[in-house]
Amino acid sequence: MLYGVCFLIGGLALAALDQLIKIWATTYLMPIGSAPLVPGFVELRYVLNDGMAFSMLSGRRWLLIAVTGAVLLVVALVLLFRKMPRLERIVWMLILGGGLGNLIDRVRTGVVVDYLNFQFMEFPVFNFADICVCTGVGLLILSLVLDLVHERRNASEKAPGKGDTTDADA
């Protein structure tokens, strides 16, 4: 459980970092709207989003708060009480930190502050919390696929008739 507490604290630290970046974005970007970060590639653009990814469920603040809060409670309990490999703990820590960062915005102001905009493609403006959640989910999917491949490889190596010689064959 102590190990889980460390990763829970890591998630809280990610949420705190997200909030600090959003304070910076509100203080410095809101007055100017946008500024180039890597010209022609990425710009900093101040945007408020009252929905979730791609503005889905826009205007459903309390539903988003309730669902996100419930999911994050489960994630925190998983981190605290479930035995798992370190990579899986990192995955859940990233999801917890990112989800909590955006949840704080929704509870406090009703909208999420976004500030990263790809200029070379059509993509919604996003933030550090979104990066944490997406990275966590991506690593979770990768971990599940690698576990499946590993299990199948082990099962095929243990399957009878794979190069086995027995007395009956002689």
More confident residue, 1 or 66: 66
Answer yes or no: 50 catalytic.
no
pLDDT of residue 111: 95
pLDDT of residue 83: 93
- The catalytic position among 18, 50, 114, 147 is 114
- Other Cβ atoms less than 10 A from the Cβ of 18: the count is 24
106 pLDDT more than 90:
yes
- Token pair recorded at residue 116: 């990263």
Identify which of 97, 66, 61 has the alpha carbon closest to the alpha carbon of residue 79.
97
Percent of the chain with pLDDT over 70: 94
- Mean pLDDT score, 110-123: 95
Where do the domains of the chain lie?
2-146
pLDDT of residue 2: 83
Roughly what angle, to the nearest 10 degrees, separates helices 128-158 and 86-109?
150
Q: How would residue 158 be classed by pLDDT, with cut points 50, 70 and 90? A: confident
Q: What is the mean pLDDT of the chain?
A: 91
pLDDT of residue 101: 98
pLDDT of residue 170: 47
Answer yes or no: 147 catalytic.
no
- Token pair recorded at residue 102: 């955006």
pLDDT of residue 100: 98
pLDDT of residue 53: 77
Could you give the CA distance from residue 47 to residue 131 in angstroms, rounded to a whole number?
16
Cβ–Cβ < 8 Å for 33, 115: no
- The catalytic position among 130, 147, 164, 167 is 130
- What pLDDT, in 10s, does the model give residues 11-59? 999 999 999 999 999 999 999 999 999 999 999 999 999 988 767 778 8
